[in-house]
């Protein structure tokens, strides 16, 4: 399968899930984007390393890197290789002097480690063509990952596909539907309901 190299484009508050962030990956030398919903801790782990911030104590991913390097283990690349019920799955390709292995990982953790090991991030063309979105960069420039606000307006989320609920698992969709009904956001509730119906 053809691999496509990805780069981190932006990190923003998710408009679809409270307390979550949207990590936007983009194909190198291309316009397609792959938005992935991640948690707050994972977003922090990515942002800290991306901005090269110095912390007084190591985070979990820093500790893992130190541990791996102590045993001559190096992560050579990260591959986002499948999506199941709206959840992206990734694997780490690692090696030491004697062998190479693949390790299953959450996508957010894999990307946090890729930054620390300075290794490339890939996905397969089939995933990018199915779940990627195209952004018109001239009219809709994304905010940098280092921006303090990390906010992206609702219309930009629409263009990025962050309001496309196909990336959200069924259990979270049901919670989002209930929340949208309580907030009387019937347009959003209708989109969620349609996504749930499509899965049945």
3 state SS of 38: strand
Residues 118 and 157 grouped into a single domain: yes
Residues 44 and 143 grouped into a single domain: yes
Structural domain boundaries, residue 65: 3-164
Quote the pTM value: 0.67
Beta-carbon contacts of 65 under 8 Å, excluding residues fewer than 6 positions away, are 113, 116, 117
Residues 173 and 107 grouped into a single domain: no
Residues 196 and 119 grouped into a single domain: no
Residues 156 and 84 grouped into a single domain: yes
| Number of domains comprising the chain | 2
Beta-carbon contacts of 50 under 8 Å, excluding residues fewer than 6 positions away, are 8, 115, 145, 146
Tokens encoding 74? 């190096």
- pLDDT for 12: 79
Residues 114 and 62 grouped into a single domain: yes
Residues 15 and 110 grouped into a single domain: yes
Residues 129 and 191 grouped into a single domain: no
Residues 91 and 186 grouped into a single domain: no
Residues 181 and 153 grouped into a single domain: no
Residues 88 and 120 grouped into a single domain: yes
pLDDT one digit per residue (tens) for the chain, 200 residues: 899 999 998 887 766 666 788 888 999 988 888 888 888 888 888 988 888 887 788 889 999 999 999 999 999 999 999 998 888 999 999 998 889 999 999 999 999 999 999 999 999 999 998 888 886 555 444 433 333 223 333 333 443 344 556 667 777 777 777 776 766 666 676 777 778 877 77
| Nearest-angstrom CA–CA distance, 16 and 164 | 9
CATH number, domain at 126?
A: 3.10.690.10
Residues 174 and 160 grouped into a single domain: no
């Amino acid at each position: 399968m053809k691999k496509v190299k990805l780069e981190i484009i932006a990190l923003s508050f998710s408009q679809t899930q409270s307390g979550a962030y949207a990590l936007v990956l983009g194909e190198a030398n291309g316009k397609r984007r792959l938005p992935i919903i991640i948690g707050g801790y994972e977003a922090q782990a990515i942002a800290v390393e991306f901005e090269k911030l110095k912390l007084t104590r190591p985070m979990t991913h820093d500790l893992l890197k130190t541990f791996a390097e102590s045993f001559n283990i190096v992560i050579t690349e990260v591959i986002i290789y499948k999506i199941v019920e709206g959840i992206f799955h990734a694997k780490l390709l690692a090696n030491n002097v004697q062998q190479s292995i693949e390790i299953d990982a959450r996508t957010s953790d894999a990307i946090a480690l890729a930054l620390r090991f300075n290794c490339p991030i890939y996905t397969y063309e089939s995933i990018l063509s199915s779940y990627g979105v195209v952004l018109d960069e001239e009219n809709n420039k994304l905010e940098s990952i280092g921006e303090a606000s990390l906010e992206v307006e609702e219309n930009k989320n629409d263009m990025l596909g962050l309001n496309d609920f196909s990336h959200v698992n069924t259990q979270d969709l049901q919670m989002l539907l209930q929340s949208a009904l309580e907030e009387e956001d019937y347009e959003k509730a209708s989109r969620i309901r349609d996504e749930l119906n499509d899965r049945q």
